[in-house]
Amino acid sequence: MRIAVTGGTGFVGTHLTRQLAHEGHEIIILTRSPEKHYNTDQIKYVGWLKEGMEPEKEIQSLDAIVNLAGENLNSGRWTEDMKKRIMNSRIEATDAVLDLIEKLEQKPDVLVNASAVGYYGTSQTETFTEKTTTPGDDFLADVVTEWERRAHKAQQFKVRTVYMRFGVILGEEGALQKMAMPYKMMAGGPVGDGEQWMSWVHIQDIVGLILFSIHNSDIIGPVNATAPNPKRNKDLGKTIAKVLNKPHWLPAPSPALKLMLGEMSMLLLQGQYVYPQKALDHGYEFNYPHLEPALRDILL
**pLDDT category, 75, cuts 50, 70, 90?**
confident
User: 83 and 139 in contact (C-beta within 8 Å)?
Assistant: yes
- C-alpha angle 199-84-103 in degrees, rounded to nearest 5: 90
The domain tally of the chain equals 1
Separation between Cα atoms, residue 276 and residue 115, nearest integer Å: 14
- Mean pLDDT score, 149-166: 98
Across the strands, what pairs with 191?
252
pLDDT of 76 over the 90 cut? no
Residue 124's CB: how many other CB atoms inside 10 A? 13
Task: Kindly state the average pLDDT of the residues 59-76.
Answer: 92
Q: In this model, does residue 205 exceed pLDDT 90?
A: yes
Q: What is the pLDDT of residue 74?
A: 84
Q: Which of 143, 167, 161, 138 is nearest to 227 (CA)?
A: 167
User: Across residues 267-272, what is the average pLDDT?
Assistant: 95
Q: What is the pTM of this model?
A: 0.97
- Residue 191 lies in domain: 2-299
pLDDT-above-70 percentage for the chain: 100
- Dihedrals phi, psi of 101, to nearest 5 degrees: -55, -45
- Report the CATH number that the domain containing residue 161 is assigned in CATH: 3.40.50.720
Which amino acid type is present at position 117? V
Average pLDDT of span 131-157: 97
Region of residue 121 (phi > 0: left; psi between -120 and 50: alpha; otherwise: beta)? left
